[in-house]
Structure 1
Amino acid sequence: MGGVVQSAELALAVLGGVLLLAVAWLWLRRRWLSRAGATFSCSLRRTATTPSSRWVLGVARYREHELQWFPSFSLSLWPRLRFDRTDVRVRDQRRPSTEEAGLLFDADRIIALDGPRGEVELAMAAESLTGLLSWLEAAPPGMRYRLSPASPD
């Protein structure tokens, strides 16, 4: 009987250690993401037209000419999605519906973006939304509309 108790205690200790390492990794990952660019909390839904699509809690950051999105509960250091400033167009913004309000943070605003991979919705605080819209509109001259090379005469 004593061997079974020791095995159970060992299994619980190993499980506790794994959970502690996972939580520590998520905390360190978030700090690393914050050091590499301006970050903000940002939930994502791939498409509004698919009823089964769900909101995924995440973090977004600005890096040069792209917005990078990372799921909050992932161990990866690489962004799951990238939105190039030149390829993204804002479709509309809205407040969460009553069904969505329970899934998102209080006072989140939802913005729909059209890009090369289709429609994506992002939910974020109003201040973050203002920052995102400013970032999109503040593209350097010539970045949004690239001129084709001049034709020879």
Structure 2
Amino acid sequence: MAWWEWLLDICGALLLLCVLYGAGLIVRRRTLSRNGGTFELSHRYRTSSAQRGWMLGLGRYSGETLEWFRVFTLSPRPKRSWRRDELSYDGRREPVGTEQASLYPDHLVIRCHSPQGEVELAMSVSSLTGFQAWLEAMPPGTDWNRR
């Protein structure tokens, strides 16, 4: 085979891999949202520098936990999860500086506290309403004074 035929075969294989990856992302997203609604939820993974370290993702409520999945991975498992009784809402703010380009449009940055430290998430206003309702809707028998 000539060199250009090898090059054409390699380009075709790379294109096929890209299409399969995209199809895998679509199937994964539909699988995640099958057992309950998902919503756009970004997480500030690295807090070492201001306004940096944001990763786009999806959030899903699963019983007593909030699960966070990265967008551009094929893994069916959540990258992070937080238990409802360990999170406490601490306030919200508008994205500033480079955060505006890193996050989904019209998302707010919220701060929460957990036993592992401060957690920063970004979500839409309607998702924030659902998040606050989920935090307040603890099951009967919960020790409300523990916080």
Q: TM-score, normalised by structure 1?
A: 0.87
1:23 aligns to 2:22 (yes or no): yes
Q: TM-score, normalised by structure 2?
A: 0.90
Residue 86 of structure 1 aligns to a residue whose secondary structure is: helix
CA distance in 2, matches of 1:77, 1:52: 28
Alignment RMSD, CA only? 2.0
Contact 1:69 1:80 (C-alpha < 8 Å) held by counterparts: yes
Over 3 Å counting, the alpha-carbon distance change for 1:114 and 1:49 in structure 2 is farther
Give 1:52 deviation, angstroms: 7.5
Fraction of identical pairs, as percent: 36
Task: Look up the match of 1:72.
Answer: 71
Task: Look up the match of 2:138.
Answer: 139
Name which one, 1 or 2, has greater alpha-carbon Rg: 1
Give 1:134 deviation, angstroms: 0.5
Residue 134 of structure 1 aligns to a residue whose secondary structure is: helix
Greater alpha carbon shift after TM alignment, 130-139 vs 109-118: 109-118
Task: Look up the match of 2:87.
Answer: 88
Residue 98 of structure 1 aligns to a residue whose secondary structure is: coil
Counterpart of 1:133 in structure 2: which amino acid?
Answer: Q
1:27-71: CA deviation from partner (whole Å, max 9, x where unpaired): 000000000222100111035563374110000000010000000
1:124 aligns to 2:104 (yes or no): no
CA distance in 2, matches of 1:146, 1:100: 35
1:70-107: CA deviation from partner (whole Å, max 9, x where unpaired): 00001100000011001111122111113311222222
Identify, as 1 or 2, the structure richer in helix: 2
Residue 102 of structure 2 aligns to a residue whose secondary structure is: coil
Give 1:143 deviation, angstroms: 3.3
Contact 2:52 2:99 (C-alpha < 8 Å) held by counterparts: no
Gaps of 5+ in 2: none
Give 1:138 deviation, angstroms: 0.7
Counterpart of 2:88 in structure 1: which amino acid?
Answer: R
Residue 130 of structure 1 aligns to a residue whose secondary structure is: helix
Gaps of 5+ in 1: 148-153
